[in-house]
Every structure is written in C-alpha cells, then in structure tokens.
Structure 1
Amino acid sequence: MRIVTGDDIRSVCSWPFAVEALRAGHLMPPADLRDSLVENAGRKMLVRTAWIPGLASGVKAVTIYPDNPSAEPARPSVQGQVLLFDEARGDVVAVLEGVDLTAWKTAGDSALGSSCLSRLDVRTMLMVGAGSMARPLIDAHRTVRPTLDRVLVWNRSQGRAEDLVQSLADDGISAEVVSDLDAAVARADLICSATMSTEPLIRGAALKPGTHVDLVGAYTPSMREADDAVLTRGRLFVDSFATTVGHIGEVMIPMASGVITKADIQGDLHDLVQARAGRGATDEITIFKNGGGAHLDVMIAHAVYLALEGR
C-alpha cells in the first residue's frame, strides 16, 4: 500500500492531467455510488464511496469545517483522505491526501464540463467567491479555455477578493475586484460560483446570451447559488445524476416547486464526454452543476497512483 502525500499528488498532477483523467473515466461504465452525510453545529462529515467497473473502487472521507480558514492558525475547511482499492483484487493500493485531491477533482470536474459546453471564444470569467477553491477553479477553466484573458472576482468579504486578484496579477493575469454582482454577471462569458450560500446569488435576468454558468458551491439540500431564472433561461447539465438529483438544493429546490423537472436536465458528463449531449447554438446559456462524487476522486486517484508507480 502506498501513502500518497499532497506533494506526491502535485508532482504528477497538472490541469490537463486531471481533466484527461476525468475524461477517460467517463468513457468507462457509470459508477455505483453511495454517500453518507452527518452534520453537527454547522460542521459536516461526508463519506462517499464509488465502484467503477473495470477501473477501481474507493472511499473518500472528509470533514467540512467552514470556520477553519479564519481560525488561528488557519486550517483548510475540508480535510480527509481517499482510500483507493484495486478493482480486481479488492486490496487497498493507496491512501491519498484528501485536501489536495479534492481541489484537483473539483476544479477538473468543472473544467471538463466547460470544455464540453462553454464557447470556444470566451474572454471574461467571473469568479463568485474567493475561498480556497477559487484559484484552482480559475486555473482549471483557463487551461481548457485559454482565450480567457480577464477575471472578475466578487466575494462578500472584499479583502479576500483583493487577495485573490493580487495573486492573479502576480502571475500576469488581468483581474479586478467587482462589487456589483449583477453588472459583473452581465459582463461575463463564463461564470464560476463556489460559495457556501443558501440563497441564490446569480440572477438569470442578468445573464447575457451565450454565457456558460458553472455552479460548484451548493452540495447540500439547503444550498443554492443560482435563482430559478438561471435554470429556466439556460440548458441545464450535471456532472452526475446520482450526486445531484435528490441530493443538492440547486436542483432539488426548483424541482420541488415545479420550476424544472428531471427531464429538463439535458445530460451528465457521460453524455457530454461521449458526445450524446452538448451546446447547441452559440447564443445558448449553458449551466453545469458540479455535484462531485467519489467516482471523480477515484478517477483522479487511480491516475495519480499509476503515474507515481510509473505505469
């Protein structure tokens, strides 16, 4: 059994590596998935399992402590590990650092969705939220859409937005802090949202034709980042039916009120990667709900393990 640290993961991972690992994984049969979520005083423990026939199986166990980044000393809001099992033999072949793997998996998931759905000529990206996932998401999106040459950043706390913009500027990326979210939405060709919001932030009325909307943050039944108009104006896709429908407020709440039905979801990543679904006209608004899932962790973990083993 191999112990895989964050440094090990970074030694072999890049955004093209992560996106291609996920793309290849979605050419495999769909995973069998099971999740368990326990909550206590605003903190959460999430255990996700996945079995991908012919590839691997795995378990991801993490805690989610939203106040950790503001603690002294600061700690990651998400902490945990991933167990990777050999699919044929059933033994544990690797234990991987979960925080680092989560960043590669989450941002790679959104980037893969964008590579299938966003226009090829997108120029301006709006990042809603300036937490720990914001920079990985920006970098991943810019990898699959190198035409992106300007980043707008909106965050409830302006200080964190300024820090993110400075880090982007230090790397030669044109970026600015914005305070008027509706106005920024109207400017953006690609919008990525990664917040802890339980109330919609992105208003569909402000979207311009052709925009791609990547919704990352909502991961519980009570959480939402986009209002009903976003979902009715655009064509909705998900990374996985199994991890979004019946599990995440972004989809559950508008379904419960009759705004959308399951039939309004145009496809998942298997459909997108295998070209059974995708963007139609250039002026369409496309929406991708990143729901995550242990199958994505398994895909990245398996690729990392093989790369470290020299296979």
Structure 2
Amino acid sequence: MLVLNQEETRRALQWPALIDAIETMFRGGCVMPVRHHHAIEVPGESDATLLLMPAWVPGSYMGVKILSVFPDNSQRSLPAIFGTYLLSSGKTGEMLAAIEGGELTARRTAATSALAAKYLAREDASELLMVGTGRLSLNLMQAHAAVRPLTSFHIWGRNAPAAEKAAEEACALGLNAKAWIDLEAATRSADIICCATLSHEPLIKGEWLKAGAHLDLVGAFKPTMRESDDVAVTRAHLYVDTFDGALKEGGDIVQPLEAGIIQRDDIRAELADLVSGRHPGRSSDQEITLFKSVGAALEDLAGAILAYESRTAK
C-alpha cells in the first residue's frame, strides 16, 4: 500500500493537474453519500469538528477522508486541520493508499476555488486579496495564479504579524505579496477576494465590492459562521460548489436564505453546471460573482486518485 506524507502529497498534487482532475470529476460525477459531521467538545476551548467524507466511482476507485478541525490549535502552533485519506480499489476493495489528509484538503480546496474562478472571475483579473492567514492562504494564492494572470497579492488578517509572515512566505514562492491593514481599501481594489477564515461575523461588506469583482468564500463551513454580509449576497450573482452542501452548511448562504434576504432561485448554479456547460458562468465584465464552497467528497477522491496514479505510474 502506498503511503504519502505531507511533502509527498504536495509534490503529487501540482496545481494545473489537480485543477484539471477536479474539473473532470465534477463533469463526470461520482457517488457522494451525505458526509458525517460531528461536533467534538474540547474542555475550555472552542468545539472541534470530526468529518467523515466517503465517495466512489463505481468499478473504479472508492475512498473516505477522516478529518478533524480544531480551531484553537493556533494557540499550540499546530495546524487546525489533521486527517488521512484512505483510497481503495472500486473493483476489489483492496486498500491502495493512505494519503496525508490535511495537505490533500488544503490543496483540493484551493484548486476547487481556482476552478470556479476560471468560470467566474474576469479573465484579466490581476489583483487578489487574501483574507485569512492560515494554512489555506498560500494555497489559494498559488492556485488562483494558475488560472488568472495575477500580478499582486494583498493579505489581511486579524493578527498583523501573521499577515506579515504570510506575505513573506508568499514572496518566497515568487508571488508579489504584501500584508495589508485596511480591509476595506484592499477589498475595494481587488479583482478577486478569497476568504478562508473561521469567522462567525461578516468580514466583507457588499458595498466594498467593485464592479467585476469575484468573491471566493472558502471558510465559514458551518451554518453559524459567515464571511460576507447581506449586501454582498444581494449584489452578487451566486454560485456554490454543490447545492447539497452549501444549502445546509455554508452560513454565507444558509443565513440569508433563512432570513428571506435571498431565495433558493437566486443561486444560479453549482460547479458541475459550470464545468459541463449547463451554465455559462460570468457573462459580463461588470457583474459581481460570489462562489461559496463547503467542500465535497468528490474533490478529495479526485485528488487522491491523481496522487496515487502519479506515484504508481513510474
């Protein structure tokens, strides 16, 4: 059985190939049972989350990701996410690979956002604002740079030193990045705004979004969390990774739906509609687009298959 650690997983999941693999999986589809989502009490700290995400392509591959999210791990200088992906044969059930789940999750999440941006962001988008300084921030910037001609990156975080550190790390990767203190000014200037936080209160105000902006909401994966306000969801054309996930778990969609701010029909399409051509995506340079993702098991399966096949094809 193949076992891939964090660095091996990273090398096996290069951005163009990973984005293509996820696009192919969304276009072809796979079986995705409802994922198990459990709140785990941590005495004296924020609740953690245990996720179990199975998926399979009949007769081909099947897999399950076991993932934990501990929001207060930053106090221990540890990643918030730990996990493992178990990939098996869809013909025999034989266990094929154990893949480091945190790296797989971070890279497939960023690649999915980049895939959405390929259909929803302006083709000439050059400036990206990264809201959040966690593990996903560098991945999101790199992934979006693979699909759009980005030349500048601004990074905002509640913790200014963390934003400075993220900017230094981004520069080391060849990205023209700077930490930014004024969130409003950075939002008003950006062509693409990526949010990857665990915020329970809106960070991005819709009035700040310029014509043609694309808002990518990756964090706030529970109904009680939120990264954008009501003005943002009413000004923007709304898209989601999957209807099943975003309508139940994404606070940026769930909360305004429950409040009657938006209606179900206001959500124009899910990612499968975009990649299959059932929906054209962005139709003008002036429209504001919003993509909300909460994660789908097929993204993990696509990444796991790519990692396994790229390592065993040699």
If the TM-score is normalised by the length of the shorter chain, which range does it land in?
over 0.9
Partner of 1:94: 97
Determine which of 151, 154, 159 is the counterpart of 1:152: 154
C-alpha deviations, 1:49-81, integer Å up to 9, x for none? 22334643221111111122331xx22210011
Partner of 1:202: 204
User: For residues 8 and 268 of structure 2, what CA distance do their matches in structure 1 show?
Assistant: 37
C-alpha deviations, 1:245-279, integer Å up to 9, x for none? 11221111111001112211111111111122211
Letter of the 1:200 counterpart: P
Alignment RMSD: 1.5
State whether structure 2 residue 191 is matched by structure 1 residue 186. Answer: no
Partner of 1:48: 53
Partner of 2:22: 22
State whether structure 2 residue 245 is matched by structure 1 residue 281. Answer: no
Determine which of 85, 108, 114 is the counterpart of 1:111: 114
Letter of the 2:269 counterpart: G
Q: SS at the partner of 1:83?
A: strand
- Ranges of 4+ aligned residues in structure 1 off by more than 3 Å: 52-55
Partner of 2:166: 164
State whether structure 2 residue 266 is matched by structure 1 residue 264. Answer: yes
| Cα distance change, pair 31–70 in 1 and its aligned pair in 2 (3 A) | same
Structure-to-structure mapping, 1:103-142, within 5 angstroms = 103-142=106-145
Q: Indicate if the aligned counterparts of 1:33 and 1:295 stay in contact, CA closer than 8 A.
A: no
Q: Indicate if the aligned counterparts of 1:34 and 1:50 stay in contact, CA closer than 8 A.
A: no
Q: Indicate if the aligned counterparts of 1:209 and 1:284 stay in contact, CA closer than 8 A.
A: yes
Letter of the 1:45 counterpart: L
| Cα distance change, pair 299–171 in 1 and its aligned pair in 2 (3 A) | closer
> What runs of 5+ residues in structure 1 fail to find an aligned partner?
none
User: For residues 224 and 72 of structure 2, what CA distance do their matches in structure 1 show?
Assistant: 18
User: For residues 10 and 157 of structure 1, what CA distance do their matches in structure 2 show?
Assistant: 27
Instruction: Give the count of matched residue pairs.
Output: 308
User: For residues 11 and 173 of structure 1, what CA distance do their matches in structure 2 show?
Assistant: 19
Partner of 1:7: 7
Q: SS at the partner of 1:159?
A: helix
Determine which of 51, 59, 63 is the counterpart of 2:64: 59
C-alpha deviations, 1:191-222, integer Å up to 9, x for none? 00000101110000110000011000011111
Q: Comparing 32-41 with 258-267, which one deviates more in the overlay?
A: 32-41
Q: Indicate if the aligned counterparts of 2:26 and 2:298 stay in contact, CA closer than 8 A.
A: no
Q: Indicate if the aligned counterparts of 2:238 and 2:268 stay in contact, CA closer than 8 A.
A: yes
Deviation at 1:5, TM superposition (A): 2.2
C-alpha deviations, 1:18-41, integer Å up to 9, x for none? 101101111213532321222213
Letter of the 1:65 counterpart: F
Q: Comparing 264-273 with 46-55, which one deviates more in the overlay?
A: 46-55
Deviation at 1:12, TM superposition (A): 2.3
Letter of the 2:55 counterpart: A
User: For residues 304 and 171 of structure 2, what CA distance do their matches in structure 1 show?
Assistant: 31
Q: Comparing 200-209 with 48-57, which one deviates more in the overlay?
A: 48-57
Partner of 1:68: 73
Report the identity percentage. Answer: 36
Letter of the 2:147 counterpart: V
| Cα distance change, pair 233–302 in 1 and its aligned pair in 2 (3 A) | same
Letter of the 1:247 counterpart: E
User: For residues 171 and 18 of structure 1, what CA distance do their matches in structure 2 show?
Assistant: 19
Q: SS at the partner of 1:153?
A: strand
Q: SS at the partner of 2:64?
A: strand
User: For residues 57 and 230 of structure 2, what CA distance do their matches in structure 1 show?
Assistant: 34
Deviation at 1:13, TM superposition (A): 1.9
Letter of the 2:20 counterpart: E
